[in-house]
Amino acid sequence: MRALGIDLGHRRIGVAVSDSGGALATPHSTIVRDGDPGAWAAQVVELVEELRTGVVVVGLPLSLDGRRTAAARHALADAEVLRAALGERAVTVETIDERLTTVSAERALGEAGRRGRDRRAVVDQAAATVLLQAWLDRQRHREHRDG
């Protein structure tokens, strides 16, 4: 089953997708929020259908000590908007702690030589990739432990 990872930002949403085996996350695209609260969710639904994903993983930006921040509350509200937009589709929406994913993505892009505008254009996708890969690894660990 393929999974879609999304890193929710106020202006941009980074998107990553897994391979069909659920082992590897790769950057996919960036959705720009245009002020219409439902437009971004409709774009995610289109991606879910196009890529045939069974789960959408939403990053939850908790504080460093694990508390829910205002941004985390917004992410949870956005996850509910997405659940409603998906309607009766057999697609689950899960959240994952995304602490430090943007930091990890920024560091990796810097090490790869990405700078300035070039880096800003892909950092959201990179952060989505980091959080989706963490979710995939956790799923694989659970299967191995329970299997």
Whole-angstrom Cα distance, residue 73 to residue 60? Answer: 8
Residue 135 pLDDT greater than 90, yes or no: yes
Whole-angstrom Cα distance, residue 50 to residue 71? Answer: 29
Residue 20: pLDDT band (50, 70, 90) is very high
Q: What is the pLDDT of residues 57-108, one digit of tens each?
A: 999 988 888 889 898 999 999 999 999 999 999 999 999 988 755 556 556 6
Is residue 30 within 8 A of residue 66, CB to CB? The reply is no
Residue 37 pLDDT greater than 60, yes or no: yes
Rg (the chain; Cα; Å): 15
Residue 143 pLDDT greater than 60, yes or no: yes
Residue 88 has what DSSP assignment?
A: T
The arithmetic mean of pLDDT across residues 13-34, rounded, is: 95
- Residue labelled with tokens 């245009």: 34
Least confident of 19-23, 49-53, 69-73, 100-104: 100-104
Residues listed for the chain:
147
Domains of the chain: 2-146 (3.30.420.140)
- Rounded to two decimals, what is the model's pTM? 0.84
Residue 110: pLDDT band (50, 70, 90) is low
Least confident of 11-20, 92-101, 122-131: 92-101
The predicted pLDDT at position 58 comes to: 97
Bigger pLDDT: 64 vs 147: 64
What are the angstrom distances between the C-alpha of 37 and each of 24, 103, 136? 30, 27, 28
Whole-angstrom Cα distance, residue 23 to residue 41? Answer: 25
Whole-angstrom Cα distance, residue 56 to residue 95? Answer: 8
Is residue 128 within 8 A of residue 122, CB to CB? The reply is no
